[in-house]
Amino acid sequence: MGIIKELLNEIESNELDQQMKELCDKIVEEEKVSEEYGIPTGINIFLSIPCPGTFKNEIGCLCLEREMQGIFIVSFWTKLKSSNSNFKKVKTWDDSKIFNESEKILKFYAQKLKYLKGDI
């Protein structure tokens, strides 16, 4: 996870929410996120990366959301590939005990993304 540490060194803010926003913006730039099927967006969705859905006819998206100031959750959203339907949140992981440092939040997110992509 050296990449996260490198990104953290580039961030000047000490405030968690601002730090997370800047980190997520940099990750989006690096990942070149494909929006072929769209992605969930919103003022409190800081990061949204496509991944496989639960079923073959679905597209999934793993999001890092700010639930309240200083509190983040990881959520999994899905929608059908063949329709113009909206994404629906189907799963949320909330481990507030570790969600107090940028590095720990992003590591938790990366673990869930690896799991959903079948890399674990």
Q: How do residues 56-114 score in pLDDT, each as one tens digit?
A: 889 999 999 998 888 899 999 999 987 788 899 999 987 665 567 888 888 899 999 99
Instruction: Please calculate the CA angle 94-100-105 and round it to the nearest 5 degrees.
Output: 60
Which of 104, 90, 110 minimizes the C-alpha distance to 31? 110
pTM, entire model: 0.83
Sequence-ordered list of residues with C-beta below 8 angstroms from that of 43, at least 6 positions apart, any chain = none
At residue 44, does pLDDT exceed 90? yes
- Mean of pLDDT values over 48-55: 89
When pLDDT is cut at 50, 70 and 90, the band that residue 48 belongs to is very high
pLDDT of residue 60: 92
At residue 15, does pLDDT exceed 60? yes
pLDDT: is 33 or 47 the higher one? Answer: 47
pLDDT of residue 55: 87
